[in-house]
Structure 1
């Protein structure tokens, strides 16, 4: 039996840690080095910080947390949330720090750190198989065929785990994955075009996890209908829709059009390891409910809603986005990149040319890469899941940290807005924003800390947090 038919899950540790007040804010800077990992011909670049590993696999850390791993999986460390607020009497962090607090909260300034551990489904082994394991499936209107699949008209269904090499065209059909929950499936898209006027183009209704592998040199096209529902909410409404963990990899091209809702959407986690992916969607472009983890690739997203999104607000270790590499070009009708709990950018290039708010999460950490944001409202916004309580100027415990990279913000309202604290501890930051009437380059309900970062705000070189801090809260 193929290892894909029944393979135990192997997870990577994703550890989140931060503190919101006192000396911890100054200590949150990181220095990243690059580690390159290649699997099955796909280049995967991962930025790592202060990591220790005892085997040949990759350890990744961020936000000044050291991570140690001794197994064969990938260790990843990123930011999550701790609920600490500080009042206006809080002392600055370190002798060289410039710190200002705009908070009206009377909560104790004692530093509290929260650490949670979560899982990603991705493993380098997911991109390794023998050619002899591949099962050929040919799509053709009224004449699809392949071993191990069932064909009902122009609906082709995969019912067991394995590696399937898919080619051909369905002008009005669907590819369905309905494998047992403990089996993994690899879909090698080798020149595929699927359009479904009445539903999703690819529907993954069950499996342990599914990898969509884009064959080198091929262009693959998926498009759904413009007006349909999914029975029993078996999958999201999306051109590429999954109820299981989903990975996109390979060096080919994937063009996705979500006419009814999302472009690519999964109810679980989404990892993009490589590939050239273009998404146009009526609602959200790329959505992983539990998490979205971008290792590499060239992504272009045009969306009516959020462009890249993770929206699990119910589970404490879910609802995060991490970008370690690749190139993301985003044009969004709402948020450019949005997550409920944590959003980390450690490398790569993220360009948001249109958005309401460019980047939004409860905890935002930018430690590397190049980030350019254009937004009609706030450029980068840190806010708690349930929004501000206790008045618009209350510190809600959110945190926005920039410790490295190059960040450029052009915002119609606040350039950087946090309903909690802001820590600018490294990198080069250029902000163009509105001013007056409660808006400005940096708007924080809590503490603003400036150390080592090079900051230019509305054409003026900034040397102290006093020049940045405001007394106005932004709300969600």
Structure 2
């Protein structure tokens, strides 16, 4: 690899931390000197600090040489290789033909045309220099090895000639020189740097193993490339970098992957643009270290899609457990326990990783359009995830977006229509963007500890431990949550200084729309959360912005409006929850200490509706439920008015949040009604 990684590091490219005492990274100023930065506030290991998310892009990581883009050639300065069935004719220097195959031994340009029904193109160049293979209407087939085998070269460029269609096909078994080697292992296999450019088309049918593989760097500049592979589609050991192109991949393993796990500055994937249609039995795009995406259009289907996901206990509805944690990037150990009257037997099996975008290090998305249907997580990092822009449409069998460490959303549009847990991270910061989450367990889950997946019968369940120091930080953006488990769940604390949050669900009393272990301090933004009452919480009394928590005696039907107005008749809230509910929590900058307010239910509104929230227009026809004054940061209500009887609620799920007045016998008492199951996590 030659001077492809700028500033020498990639494992720390996501976060350029300006002030954070708990950070253990050794990032230097040079690591992010060329990257613009976005300042946000976040928390790691219980320490709240201002940080900067470095806007790392492909250009900060990869240098494309001039020759990577060069596609011109001339007959006078090249060697012609004519493929004639089982024979090869070479016109020029640097290559020799024998027994239906051709061996290239010198740097230069070689133009291949015709059909080779049984044979191989071998590049074996000991001297420095670039070998250019121009596929000018070439069809290559070898039934027992790689049709294109770059055995030795300083660098090889495959140019797809404009207006041509080219194909490379291997057989289901390879014959190796001896038992000590398993190379080549792909239909196009390179032991050195490989670049593909041009505007022609290349179809690769890899019946043995991988489609296109480089043991060094693999760069794709342009072209139409279709890969059908028994295992992985496109592999670059040190890196895969894509500037543009149209890639269609159907893989029995991973779609695109980079595999170097010995050097933290390598093993990454960087994509500037292009169109990607990937169907993979395993992961769609997977990097051993980091993934950086600037743009492009992506359609990813992994593991057969979300319909093939393992059944999670949280998918069963009432009693589901709202939990989160860290997941193994390659596979997860599934523990199967069989109980008998005498013994309990436990066996370990390995499940296949079927994620959409996956990285052992950071994932940075600066743009692009993503349609992901994954049997496992749609986006998964064993480190940090940063989304500064882009359009995501996600259906996931497990998490929509997962980060073991910090998950930061700064912009873009994210629509998660199916997931187990929608957005999950060790710490989560939402500073912008438009986000919609539907989850069969927790909508947004901040968690810590180790991931242990247990299986009982046909159901699996993620089990996690809480560190108690994790943080959900919301400073901007627009977030809606529809959850069967907890809506916003922090195994730590929550802070909100801006943005809009609309949460619907759960409907079972084993979970809460808001669930935190520490504190919930709200000083800005707008929040409405409607759901069950058994584990209900509100922002805490430390908040400088005021909250109202209303608990109804009876469950209200989905679509039944809740309307809150001040003494002058000004609208504070008109909201139609999408699910049945018994508790509604409202926090708005329009709520003021000493103000008088009236809450109504039912009725209609002529206003504009978005996610159940009505703005402008006129409200009419509702039933007055309660009138009240605000005298504290959290006002708890039932049909009789402001309630008395405080509750500190310590322990998991209680969180000590909102130690104001609670409805007697109502929400937030830290107990569940008889017959209710589940966990308050």
TM-score normalised to the size of structure 2? 0.51
Q: Deviations over 1:273-308 (max 9, x none)?
A: 000000000100000010000100000000010000
Q: Which residue of 2 aligns with 1:431?
A: 416
Give the Cα separation in 2 of the matches to 1:78 and 1:230: 50
Q: 2:479 matched to 1:462?
A: yes
Rg larger in 1 or in 2? 2
Q: Which residue of 1 aligns with 2:226?
A: 278
Give the Cα separation in 2 of the matches to 1:244 and 1:119: 19
Q: Which residue of 1 aligns with 2:424?
A: 443
Q: Deviations over 1:403-440 (max 9, x none)?
A: 111122210111111121201111111113334xxxx1
Q: 2:333 matched to 1:333?
A: no
Q: 2:294 matched to 1:346?
A: yes
Q: Deviations over 1:110-152 (max 9, x none)?
A: x99x9xx998574123416552322111111343111231111
TM-aligned CA deviation for residue 92 of structure 1: 6.1
Checking the alignment, whether the CA contact within 8 Å between 2:106 and 2:127 is kept in structure 1 is no
Other structure's SS at 1:125 match:
helix
Give the Cα separation in 2 of the matches to 1:238 and 1:178: 17
Q: 2:126 matched to 1:180?
A: yes
Q: Which residue of 2 aligns with 1:408?
A: 393
Question: What pairs up with 1:74-473 in 2 under 5 angstroms?
Answer: 86-87=44-45, 89-91=46-48, 93=50, 122-126=64-68, 127=70, 130-131=73-74, 132-146=76-90, 147-148=92-93, 149-231=95-177, 233=181, 235-355=183-303, 356-361=354-359, 362-383=361-382, 398-435=383-420, 440-444=421-425, 446-458=426-438, 462=479, 467-469=487-489, 471=491
CA spacing shift, 1:463–1:451, aligned 2, 3 Å: farther
Greater alpha carbon shift after TM alignment, 310-319 vs 454-463: 454-463
Q: CA RMSD in A?
A: 3.2
Other structure's SS at 2:283 match:
coil
Checking the alignment, whether the CA contact within 8 Å between 2:398 and 2:419 is kept in structure 1 is yes
TM-aligned CA deviation for residue 11 of structure 1: 3.7
Checking the alignment, whether the CA contact within 8 Å between 2:87 and 2:101 is kept in structure 1 is no
Other structure's SS at 2:143 match:
coil
TM-aligned CA deviation for residue 228 of structure 1: 1.5
Q: Deviations over 1:172-204 (max 9, x none)?
A: 111111112512100000011111111111000
Q: Deviations over 1:2-44 (max 9, x none)?
A: xxxxxxx97444343436597679xxxxxxxxxxxxxxxxxxx
Give the Cα separation in 2 of the matches to 1:151 and 1:118: 43
| Structure 1: 5+ residue stretches without partners | 1-8, 26-63, 68-76, 98-110, 384-397
CA spacing shift, 1:93–1:426, aligned 2, 3 Å: farther
Checking the alignment, whether the CA contact within 8 Å between 2:192 and 2:216 is kept in structure 1 is yes
Give the Cα separation in 2 of the matches to 1:24 and 1:344: 24
Give the Cα separation in 1 of the matches to 2:160 and 2:302: 28
Give the Cα separation in 2 of the matches to 1:430 and 1:181: 52
Aligned length: 375
Other structure's SS at 1:165 match:
strand
Give the Cα separation in 2 of the matches to 1:204 and 1:153: 18
Q: Deviations over 1:201-249 (max 9, x none)?
A: 1000010010000001111010111011544548441111111100010
Q: Which residue of 2 aligns with 1:37?
A: none
Q: Deviations over 1:326-353 (max 9, x none)?
A: 1010000000000011101101111103
Checking the alignment, whether the CA contact within 8 Å between 1:217 and 1:251 is kept in structure 2 is yes
Other structure's SS at 1:420 match:
strand
Other structure's SS at 1:315 match:
coil
Give the Cα separation in 2 of the matches to 1:243 and 1:179: 12
Give the Cα separation in 2 of the matches to 1:345 and 1:175: 33
Checking the alignment, whether the CA contact within 8 Å between 1:332 and 1:354 is kept in structure 2 is yes
Checking the alignment, whether the CA contact within 8 Å between 1:120 and 1:269 is kept in structure 2 is no
Q: Which residue of 1 aligns with 2:514?
A: none
Question: More relative contact order in 1 or in 2 (CA 8 Å, sep 6+)?
Answer: 1
Q: Deviations over 1:147-180 (max 9, x none)?
A: 2311111111111100111101111111111112
Q: Which residue of 2 aligns with 1:102?
A: none
Q: Which residue of 2 aligns with 1:389?
A: none
Q: Which residue of 2 aligns with 1:49?
A: none
TM-score normalised to the size of structure 1? 0.72
CA spacing shift, 1:22–1:144, aligned 2, 3 Å: closer
Q: Which residue of 2 aligns with 1:18?
A: 13
Other structure's SS at 2:67 match:
helix
TM-aligned CA deviation for residue 265 of structure 1: 0.5
Checking the alignment, whether the CA contact within 8 Å between 2:19 and 2:49 is kept in structure 1 is no
Checking the alignment, whether the CA contact within 8 Å between 1:229 and 1:237 is kept in structure 2 is no
Give the Cα separation in 2 of the matches to 1:85 and 1:312: 31
TM-aligned CA deviation for residue 470 of structure 1: 5.2
Give the Cα separation in 2 of the matches to 1:78 and 1:424: 16
Greater alpha carbon shift after TM alignment, 117-126 vs 351-360: 117-126
Checking the alignment, whether the CA contact within 8 Å between 1:290 and 1:319 is kept in structure 2 is yes
CA spacing shift, 1:343–1:138, aligned 2, 3 Å: same
